[in-house]
Amino acid sequence: MRVTIFGSGYVGLVTGACLSDAGNDVLCVDVDADKIVRLKRGEVPIHEPGLEVLIKKNAEAGRLRFTTDAAEGVRHGLFQLIAVGTPPDEDGSADLKYVLAVARTIGEHMTEYRVVIDKSTVPVGTADKVKAQIAATLKQRGADVEFDVVSNPEFLKEGAAIGDFMKPDRVIVGTDNPRVTELLRALYEPFTRNHDRLIVMDLRSAELTKYAANAMLATKISFMNELANIAERVGADIEKVRVGIGSDPRIGYSFIYPGTGYGGSCFPKDVQALIRSSNAAGHQPALLEAVEGVNERQKSFLVDKIARHFGGKLDGRTFALWGLAFKPNTDDMREAPSRTIAGRLWAAGAKLRAYDPVAADEARRVFGARQDLTICASAYEAVEGADALVIATEWQEFRSPDFDRLKASLKQPAIFDGRNLYDPQLLKRFGYSYYAVGRGER
């Protein structure tokens, strides 16, 4: 099948690589000429395990191409996928200007039937706006061309996106046209052969499903962080509580790990957008507002522990920071807890020696050149001469360090673990002051 994807960001590139790997003829369109030049050279602008190899393989096979020519994109594909960004507006609502710009472009250039697919995470009612924009543009041209608009939200986890696309839990299709359902079933058939995972519903329900999924996961994270704060004050160990409740199949173990709060490009933006959509519809979403509030507070709690340990005197101190990305296996630092931690430590006059396995370049872009920040080449380099170690991301290589070596490198043996990587009793035997999340030590 011939597929056009507007937007060569995270969703667009993963979708394009996976669809082309199944034999489809995919053309990715983007307005960023520099990005397209880099992609044509085989340079992938994001870190996602397996993505670079998949893009290279299918580009060399001629099944995956990149262009800035929007007209060529509209001519190319029966399927026109919209995978552009929907950044939060000033009030937190999703900004649809890029989505509607693509809809306008499709309307300007299409001459035969097209299936327009919303892959971007968008508020309920966006498909109607896309349909209206295309229809209005066609009317301005005096053209009468049939088209359908489909909601087909993505459910890709950063760091595991290739596997999520190749073996999806579900494929949500929002449409009011049975013919479109069969076309989408054919497009996704290579990825759902073992079990039909296509779930068909109306457009608005499909749009809400994406927001609902992310809001539910964010809620689980904030709930566990709230429990962790309670555990600290009553002398309980949240990790033992987690195992106790996770063994209940109605709850499960997924997304009940306490930490420094959620970040990334999805949860913060989508929870905010759902709150704004709910308010606009006349309902105050008290639970979602609490989820967001707990998360913002949680991003700062580690700094509060650091300040208490050092008697509030952080000026002139140096801290090693392990982990900059918002989660492992990605270089994405959008809304990452590390940014809040760094900002508060800098505001208190401290310096940072930071290390992340893949996000060093992104950190340099985000933070710029600063005299109070050193980006280190290894975890052990980061701790050299530091007053204490702060852990913000649970990278695998942080899980079993040489504690004797760490102790020798640090000015004092203090670890502030925002991801509960270590056993508190083990760290005490090594002579550390160890502060974690919800483990009875404030």
Those residues with Cβ within 8 angstroms of residue 374's Cβ, 6 or more apart along the chain or in another chain: 351, 352, 353, 354
Distance CA 56, CA 66 (A): 12
pLDDT tens, position by position, 4-42: 999 999 999 999 999 999 999 999 999 999 999 999 999
376 classed as catalytic: no
Mean pLDDT, the chain, integer: 95
Share above pLDDT 90 across residues of the chain, in percent, rounded to a whole number: 95
Q: What is the largest CA-CA distance in the chain?
A: 79
Task: Report pLDDT for 87.
Answer: 84
Per-residue tokens: 152:
């087909």
Average pLDDT over residues 53-82: 97
Which of 18, 28, 266, 376 is flagged as catalytic? 266
Residue 53 has pLDDT above 70, yes or no: yes
pLDDT tens, position by position, 113-157: 999 999 998 999 999 999 999 999 999 999 999 999 999 999 999
Task: Report pLDDT for 442.
Answer: 60
Those residues with Cβ within 8 angstroms of residue 292's Cβ, 6 or more apart along the chain or in another chain: 222, 268, 271, 272, 275
Distance CA 20, CA 3 (A): 9
- Which alpha helices (H) appear in 348-386, and where do they start and end? 360-367, 379-383
Distance CA 122, CA 204 (A): 10
DSSP 150: E
